[in-house]
């Protein structure tokens, strides 16, 4: 005689039909690039959803302001350049275990490939690819990523759309997406998921700086649904961090307001 199903206990074979699946209550989440833009919005939303955070950014003052405004308590802020080994080590030591990683740190610069020198290409790869991957490697090696954790990397629409003057930037983000897919396969037995979120043009300080240099307003205005803000991307990141996405891994969620279609035409 079969036993009755206890609907209060989630199972690998049964969907979680509850808003609780979107909660991050009781989880420890590491958010990089949290001093502004998408990273700051992600940290704020994670805290509102109940997570305890370790946040990182290069700007001490801005990071402290984000930290002070977070909902909840017992959050930790560690300022430092993620491309430096000592910063990655400090983040590894900040918690005995992480249930999630939101990798939002990154830089961008528009340089036509014929003018892109070695220093530019190395910087794009160092910050956008090597830093998050070396951080992840260290956390995995030291067993700081708990079973069932979710890893989310912010890449970019340009990783696939490949607009002009973005060879270094687009290549670094494409490399991160490829590494994320491999990572997801390697860690599947521990039910550690790895995904990317690829934004289109988002109203951040980084985009404002690019726009002022390159006159990008016309390109940004191609977005059919209008301009995105950091909170739009934070919602997608938190979805992938939560149990609501527990069967999603090895993928890239594009959040571009429909921009990918006109960009390719």
Just list the catalytic residues: 169
Instruction: Report d(CA 45, CA 231) in Å as an integer.
Output: 8
How long a stretch of residues is the chain? 265
**How would you classify the pairing of strands 76-79 and 193-199?**
unpaired
C-alpha torsion sign, points 219, 224, 226, 230: negative
Q: What is the phi-psi region of residue 98: left when phi exceeds 0, alpha when psi lies from -120 to 50, beta otherwise?
A: beta
DSSP string, 241-262: HSGGGTT--S-EEEESTTTHHH
Whether the CB-CB separation of 256 and 223 falls below 8 Å is answered with yes
C-alpha torsion sign, points 183, 184, 185, 191: positive
Whether the CB-CB separation of 130 and 60 falls below 8 Å is answered with no
């Amino acid at each position: 005689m079969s036993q009755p199903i206890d609907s209060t206990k989630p199972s690998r074979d049964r969907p979680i039909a509850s808003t609780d699946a979107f909660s991050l209550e009781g989880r420890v989440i590491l958010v990089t690039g949290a001093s502004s833009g998408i990273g700051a919005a992600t940290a704020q939303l994670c805290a509102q959803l109940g997570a305890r955070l370790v946040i990182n950014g290069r700007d001490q003052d801005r990071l402290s302001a984000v930290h002070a405004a977070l909902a909840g308590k017992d959050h930790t802020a560690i300022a430092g350049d993620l491309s430096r080994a000592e910063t990655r080590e400090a983040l590894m030591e900040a918690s005995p275990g992480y249930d999630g990683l939101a990798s939002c740190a990154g830089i961008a610069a528009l340089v036509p490939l014929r003018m892109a020198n070695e220093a530019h290409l190395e910087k794009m790869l160092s910050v956008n690819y090597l830093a998050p991957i070396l951080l992840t490697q260290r956390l995995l090696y030291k067993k700081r990523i708990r079973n069932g954790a979710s890893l989310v990397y912010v890449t970019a629409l340009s990783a696939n759309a490949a607009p002009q003057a973005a060879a270094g930037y687009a290549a670094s983000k494409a490399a991160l997406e490829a590494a994320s897919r491999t990572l997801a396969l390697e860690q599947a037995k521990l039910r550690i998921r790895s995904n990317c979120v690829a934004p289109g043009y988002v109203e951040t300080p980084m985009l404002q700086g690019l726009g002022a240099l390159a006159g990008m307003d016309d390109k940004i205005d191609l977005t059919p649904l209008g301009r995105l803000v950091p909170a739009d991307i934070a919602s997608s990141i938190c979805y992938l961090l939560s149990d609501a996405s527990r069967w999603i891994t090895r993928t890239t969620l594009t959040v571009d307001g429909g921009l990918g279609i006109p960009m390719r035409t």
